[in-house]
Structure 1
Amino acid sequence: MHKTSLFLTLLLSATAFANTDTLQTKSKITDVTVFFSGAQITRNAHLQTTKGKHLLILNQLPSEINPQSIQVAGIENCVILSVKHQLEYPNQNKKEVEETEIQKQIDAQELKIKEIKNKQNVFELEEKILLDNSSLKKKDDGTAIADIKLAADFYRVRLNEIKQGKLNLSTELESANKKIQEFYTKLNELTSKKHRTYSKILITLECEKDINAIIQISYYISSAGWTPYYDFRVEEITLPLVIVYNANVYQSSGESWNNIKMKLSTQNPSLTGTKPELNAWYLERKNFNDNMPSNHEPGALKGKVYDFKTNEGLPFANVSVYKGDELVASGATDVDGLYTIKPIKPGKYSVKTSYVGYQSTKINNTQISPAQITFLDIKMNSQDVRLDEVLILDYKTPLVYPSSEGRSINQNAIKGAHAEDTQYYIDGIKIRSDVNGGTDKDESRSGIEISNFISNSIKTSVTNLEYVIEIPYTIPSDGEDYSIKIKEASVPVNYVYHAVPKLETDVFLTAEITNWASLNFLQGKSNIYYQGTYTGESILNPNQATDTLTVSLGRDRNIIVKREGKKEVNDKIFLGNNIKEVVGWNIIIKNNKNTKIRIMVEDQFPITEKKSIEIFHLEYSNAKLDDKTGKLTWDLSMEPNEKKEIGYKYFVKYPRNMNLMME
C-alpha cells in the first residue's frame, strides 16, 4: 500500500511538471529609484503564452538582488503562484562558440609568429655566412677587377634583399602581436562576463486564457547611490544668490542603465525604520550602548591595471573583492585599464585580478576606509608563467594618493549621457550640460525664480523627498560618479560679511536665506563661485531649527580689516603684591567695494575662573557684549569706500606671582 501511494505521488508530480511550460524571456530596465545608498530597479518583460500553468525565467540579473525585495506586478487573467530567486554560478570550463573562434584566431597568429621568427633566423644565418666570406683572397697573379666588381654587385644586392626582408618580417611580427593583443582584449571582454555570478528569477503563474502582455518586476540592489551637491554663485551682493542643484549618481550592478526613467530619493532602505530603545542604565555596571551610531558609510576602490613591462593599461581585466572566500564586489577595467568599485563596506579585503594571457594576482589586506577612496594600481605579468599560478602580494599604502584635482576638461570623453546631452569632465567628475540647450523657468515661489535644466518634478512625503527625472538617462555600470545638473534657483538673500581679526585677516561673506524650507535643501557639499571664480567649498547643513539659514560663501578680499594694539593705552603697573595691566585694541575696517555692505566684527574680552583675578571692561564702542563668554560683536553698515575704526579697552588686576598671557 505504501509503495503504491509513493508511486502515485511521483506520477502526479511528474505529470504536474510536464504540464508546466517553461518560458525564458528577456527583460529590460525601465525605471530606477536611486536612494542615497542602494536602488530599486523596475524592469519589464514581454509575456506571450497560452492558457495553463507556466514557469517564467528571467536570466542574467545582478547577483546582489535582495530576494526579499522582489515584487511582481499582477497580470490580468493570470494568477502568480510563486516567485523564487536563484544564483547562477559561472561555468568557467564551458567555452562559448565566439570564445573558440577567437582562440583559433589567436592560435593562427601565434603560428604565424613562429613562421616569421623562423624566416628571421634564416636571414640572420645567411647574413652571417655572407659577411664571414666577404673578404676576397688575393691570388699570385692578382684578382681580376671584373671578379671584384661581380662579387661586390652580388653582396650589395643580396645584403639589401636580406635587410629589406628582415624589415618586412619585423613589420609582420609587430602586426601579428598587435592582432593577438586585440583578440585577447575581445576574449577578456567575453570572459569578464563569464566570470560573473548572476541572479535569475523564477515566476510560476497560471493563465486563464492566452496572454500577450507586459510583466513588471522590481527589486532592490545595494551597488548604487547618489549624493546631492550644490553650486552657490555670487555675481554681486546686490543681486540674488544663484543656487545650482546637482546630483552625483553611480552604479556598479554589472549592467548599464540605458535610457531609463530615474527618481532620486532621500530614503535609505539600508537603515532600519524602527526607533531606538533606551535600556536601563545601571551606574555600577558597564553599559554598552547598542544604539550608538558608528561610521559604516561605504568606501570605494579605484586604480589601474597595467602590463608590468610596457606600463600600458589592460582593458576588460576582472577585478574582484573578497572577504575570505566570499565575493563582496567586482568590476572590470575600461579601455584604458582604469576601474572603480563601489560601494564597499569598511574593512580589510583581498583583491583578485585576472586577465587572459596574464598571471592572476591576489593582493591581501587591502584596507577600505569609511567614506574614502582606496587607490590600488595592479601590475600584471604576461603569459611567461603558468596560467593557473597566482601571484600573492600584501597591500601597501601608497606614499602619495592620486588626486583628481587639476584635471583638464576632456570634451572627447563622452559616455553615459542622454541622447541630446553633451558631457565633459571637471575634477574627475562627469558633467552633463543643459538638455536642449535651454531651461524651464518656474516663478511660482514668491521672490524665488526656478530654472529647470532637465524636466523634473518633486514629490514629498512625511519622511521622503523625490526628484523625478522625466528625461531618460543612461548610467553605465562602472562605479563612476555621473553628475546631473537638475535645476537652478535665483534666491533673494541678505548678504552679511563676518570678520574675526584676532584670528584671521580675511573677511568672509555669508548669505542669510529666509523661508528656506521651500527650497528642499539636502545636506551635501557646496562649491562656491564669486564673480565667476571658484573660491572654495563648504558643507550645506539644512538640519537647523531656525527660520533663517546661513550659508558661507567664502572670502572677499575687497574688505580690509586690520587689528592694532593701542600703544598709548597698553601699560603694566605694579601695585604691592598685584599687577594692574591695561590693554586696548583698535580695529580698522575699509570697504573697498562700490556697494554698501553690512559687516559683523567679532573680538573678545578675557574671562577668568579665579577670584584672585579681576577684569574690568573700560570701553567697547557700542559692541554687543556676551557676559558669559566675553564675546564682542559689532554690527556695522558701511557705505562704498568708507573707512571705520572701532576698539575696546580693559584692565586686569592679578597677583604678582602669576604670569598671564594678555593676548
Structure 2
Amino acid sequence: MKKNMITLLLLITFFNIYAADNKNEVQASLTAVTVYRSGAEMTHTVSATLVAGNNQVIIDNISNAIDSSSIQIKAPSSVTILGFEFSKNYLVNTTKTQRRQLLDDSLQTVQSHIDKLSLSINNAKELLDVLKANREIKGEQNGVSVSELEKLMDYYYSKSTELQNTIAALTEKKNKAIVLIDKIKDQIDEENKKNINTAGRLTLELNAAMPVKADFVVSYIARNAYWQPFYDMRADNIQLPLKIFYKAKIVQTTGIDWKHVKLSLSTATPSQKGNAPELQSWFLGYINRYQHNNLNSALAGSAAGIQIRGASNLSEVVVVGYGAEKKDDMAGNYVAPKPVYVVNGNVVSDDVFRQIDPNSIKSIDKLKPAAAKNMYGSVAEGGATVVQLKEGLQDYIAVTDKTLNVNFDIDIPFDVPTSGKEQTATLQIIDAGTAYEHIAVPKMDNDVYLIAKLQNWERLNLLPGEANIIIEGTYVGKTYINPEKTSDSLDITLGNDKRVVVNRKKLEDFSSVKFLGSNKLQKFTYEIVVRNNKKEAVNIIVKDQYPLSTNKDIEVELNETSGAVADKDNGTLAWQLQLGPNESKTLRFSYSVKYPKDKTINIY
C-alpha cells in the first residue's frame, strides 16, 4: 500500500511539472536555399499551435549537419524564445528506404546463390577425388582383358571430363555472381552517401502571451553542400565573339532532399576569415641556424567579366488569340473582331493563352489592330498581344552584384536530391567581346595555339574553374580559367591550330666558332618559317629567346632580329605578324657569345 502511494505521488508530481507546458512536434517545410562555395543556408517555415504560457516545440525534418551557432529563428511578436537546442534524431530512418531494402534483398539472394554454387563445386571436386583414388585395378585375377580395360578407361575419361566441365561451369557462374555482389555493394555505398540515416531536430522553449497559431522561420548554415563553377567556351569561328556558358555543379548531402525550393547560388564563402590581417611589432633576435621557417604570401587579383548580353538570341514568340472576322449579330449590329492569340506561329484559344504561366513570360507587347493586321494578316484585325517566352534555365536567373559577392537567384522551383550527385545548372550565356590571335613558341613546341583575349573581363564575375573548349561545333579539350590576375585582358587557350604551321631550325652555314686570344666566340643563327594554310587571314605572335649573361667574362650580343621586339630584361624576341590565306613568312635571328676558351657554358 505504501509503495502504491509513493508511485501515485511521483506521477502526480510529474504531471504537475509538465501540465503547464504545451508540447508540439512539428515538421519543418524547406522553402529556400542559398548555396555557397562551401556550405548552404537553408530556410524552413514551421507552424505550431501555442497555449498561453510556456510551450515546447520540437521541429523535425531539418539537416543533420549544421553549424549550431548559425541558427536563426524568427517568431511572432507575442512569442518569446526562451532557448533552443539542436540534436540528431537517430530514429528517423529505422525503417529502410524502399531502394535500400531492394538492394539488401538482392544482395542476400545473390549471396545465397553463391553459397549453393560453392556447395555444388565442392561436391563435384569430391567426386573427382574419389574417381582419381580408384583408378588402380585390383582383383583376384592376375590380369584384365583388353575390352574390360578399354571400358574402364572410357568410363574414367568420360566421368572425369564431365566432372571437370561441371566444376568449370559452376566456377564461371560463381565468378559472375561475385562480380554482381560487388556491384550491389557499390550501389549500397552510393545509397549510404545520401546521408539520410539521421535527421536534425530543433527543440524550442517558448513563452506565449496568449493562445496563438504561430508561424516561425528557421534558417541555418548546413555544412554538407557546395557548388563549383565550370564553363563551356564555344567559338563558331574566329570572326564571331566567344560564347561563354557559365555553369554550376551543385552537390548536397544534408540529409534532406531539396524539393521545389527557391534556390540561389552565391560566390561567397561563409567559412572564410572574418578579420583583416594586422601587422604586429617585429623584433629581431638570434635563431638556431639549423631551423628554417618559411613564410609564404600570395597576392590575389580581382575577378570579373565581360559585357553580358544574356542568353542566345531568342526568336520572338507571338501570342495573339482566336481570330474572328468582322460580322453582324442577330440584330444586325456591327460586332468588332476579337483579338487573336498566336503562340510560336500557331493560333490558340483564349483558354490556352490564359493557362500560360506568367513566370514563363519574358516580355509582352500589345499591337493595335492596324499594326497587327499588317504583321499577321486579317486574322489579327482585332489586335494582337506579342509575348516572348523564356528559354532555358538561364532566363529564370537574376544576377545580383553585391558588395562582396555575386548571387544567382533561380526564379523557378528547383530540386536537388541529398545523394551527393552533381546537379548541373546553366547560370548565364555570355557573348564576350573577343580578340583572337595565334601564339607560337617553336623553341619549346612545334604547335601553334589559338588564344582568345577577353577585354573588360573584370565585370564578368568569373570564378576559377575548368572549361570545355568547343571550336566550330567540335570538342577540342579542356582549359582552366584563372580570373585571379591583374592584367588588362584574360587570355584563354582554345587549343592548337593544325592549319597554321611553324618550323624552327638552326642554320649551320651561318653559325661559326672562332678563337680570339684567350676567348672563344660562337655565333648562332636560327630561321623560323610560319605558314597559314587557312582560308582566312590570321594574326600570330611568334616568340623566341636569346641568352643573357650575369658574368662579366661572358658577353652576349644580339646581331640580327628580322624586326622582332627584343626585351633585354628577359631575353625574349617577339614578332607580331598578319598572314593572309596560304601566306608564309620567314624570320631569322642571330646572336654571338664570347667567353673564356678554357670554360664550358650552358649555351645549348
**TM-score under structure 1 length normalisation:** 0.58
Which residue pairs with 1:253 in the alignment?
Answer: 254
Task: Classify 1:647/1:190 alpha carbon distance in 2 versus 1 (closer, same or farther; 3 Å).
Answer: closer
Distance in 2 separating the partners of 1:518 and 1:97: 50
Which residue pairs with 1:18 in the alignment?
Answer: 19
Cα contact 1:440–1:453 (8 A) shared by 2? no
Instruction: Could you tell me which runs of 5 or more consecutive residues in structure 2 were left unpaired when the two chains were aligned.
Output: 1-11, 117-176, 299-356, 364-390
Cα contact 1:256–1:475 (8 A) shared by 2? yes
Distance in 2 separating the partners of 1:223 and 1:483: 17
Partner-residue secondary structure (3-state), 1:641: coil
Q: Deviations over 1:216-271 (max 9, x none)?
A: 11111111101111111111111110000000110111221112111111111122
> Match for 1:520: what amino acid?
N
Partner-residue secondary structure (3-state), 2:232: strand
Match of 2:421 among 455, 466, 480: 480
Which residue pairs with 1:207 in the alignment?
Answer: 208
Task: Classify 1:191/1:626 alpha carbon distance in 2 versus 1 (closer, same or farther; 3 Å).
Answer: closer
> Match for 2:45: what amino acid?
N
Task: Classify 1:96/1:288 alpha carbon distance in 2 versus 1 (closer, same or farther; 3 Å).
Answer: same
Which residue pairs with 2:62 in the alignment?
Answer: 61
- The CA deviation at 1:196 is 3.1
- The CA deviation at 1:483 is 1.5
Which residue pairs with 1:520 in the alignment?
Answer: 461
Which residue pairs with 1:581 in the alignment?
Answer: 522
Which residue pairs with 1:126 in the alignment?
Answer: none
Q: After TM superposition, list the pairs within 5 Å mapping 1:116-127 onto structure 2.
A: none
Cα contact 1:38–1:220 (8 A) shared by 2? yes
Partner-residue secondary structure (3-state), 1:544: coil
Which residue pairs with 1:615 in the alignment?
Answer: 556
Q: CA RMSD in A?
A: 4.1
Which residue pairs with 2:327 in the alignment?
Answer: none
- State, as a whole percentage, how many aligned pairs show the same letter: 29
Cα contact 2:28–2:45 (8 A) shared by 1? yes
Cα contact 1:77–1:208 (8 A) shared by 2? yes
- Alignment of 1:230 onto 2:217: no
> Match for 1:67: what amino acid?
S
Cα contact 2:453–2:489 (8 A) shared by 1? yes
Distance in 1 separating the partners of 2:542 and 2:81: 70
Distance in 2 separating the partners of 1:195 and 1:563: 62
Task: Classify 1:83/1:477 alpha carbon distance in 2 versus 1 (closer, same or farther; 3 Å).
Answer: same
Distance in 2 separating the partners of 1:248 and 1:218: 23
Q: After TM superposition, list the pairs within 5 Å mapping 1:148-297 onto structure 2.
A: 196-279=197-280, 280=282, 282-285=284-287
Match of 1:626 among 553, 567, 574: 567
Q: After TM superposition, list the pairs within 5 Å mapping 1:282-431 onto structure 2.
A: 282-285=284-287
Partner-residue secondary structure (3-state), 1:517: helix
Which residue pairs with 2:42 in the alignment?
Answer: 41
Flag the structure with more relative contact order, 1 or 2, with Cα contacts below 8 A and sequence separation at least 6: 2
Task: Classify 1:219/1:228 alpha carbon distance in 2 versus 1 (closer, same or farther; 3 Å).
Answer: same
Which residue pairs with 1:494 in the alignment?
Answer: 435
Does 598-607 or 60-69 show the bigger shift?
60-69
Match of 1:464 among 399, 405, 410: 405
Task: Classify 1:471/1:26 alpha carbon distance in 2 versus 1 (closer, same or farther; 3 Å).
Answer: same
Partner-residue secondary structure (3-state), 1:270: coil
Distance in 2 separating the partners of 1:204 and 1:459: 37
> Match for 1:629: what amino acid?
N
Which residue pairs with 1:653 in the alignment?
Answer: 594
Which residue pairs with 2:541 in the alignment?
Answer: 600
Distance in 2 separating the partners of 1:240 and 1:189: 42
| Higher Cα radius of gyration | 2
Task: Classify 1:474/1:565 alpha carbon distance in 2 versus 1 (closer, same or farther; 3 Å).
Answer: same
> Match for 1:259: what amino acid?
H
Task: Classify 1:239/1:96 alpha carbon distance in 2 versus 1 (closer, same or farther; 3 Å).
Answer: closer
- Alignment of 1:77 onto 2:18: no
Cα contact 1:514–1:547 (8 A) shared by 2? yes
- The CA deviation at 1:562 is 0.7
Task: Classify 1:189/1:512 alpha carbon distance in 2 versus 1 (closer, same or farther; 3 Å).
Answer: closer
Cα contact 2:193–2:420 (8 A) shared by 1? no
Which residue pairs with 1:87 in the alignment?
Answer: 88
Task: Classify 1:566/1:518 alpha carbon distance in 2 versus 1 (closer, same or farther; 3 Å).
Answer: same
Distance in 2 separating the partners of 1:190 and 1:632: 59
Which residue pairs with 1:538 in the alignment?
Answer: 479
Distance in 2 separating the partners of 1:482 and 1:188: 19
**TM-score under structure 2 length normalisation:** 0.63
Which residue pairs with 1:640 in the alignment?
Answer: 581
Which residue pairs with 1:427 in the alignment?
Answer: none
> Match for 1:284: what amino acid?
Y
Task: Classify 1:574/1:508 alpha carbon distance in 2 versus 1 (closer, same or farther; 3 Å).
Answer: same
Task: Classify 1:236/1:251 alpha carbon distance in 2 versus 1 (closer, same or farther; 3 Å).
Answer: same
Distance in 1 separating the partners of 2:403 and 2:195: 45
- The CA deviation at 1:49 is 3.9
Cα contact 2:194–2:419 (8 A) shared by 1? no
> Match for 1:243: what amino acid?
I
- The CA deviation at 1:546 is 3.0
Cα contact 1:451–1:487 (8 A) shared by 2? no
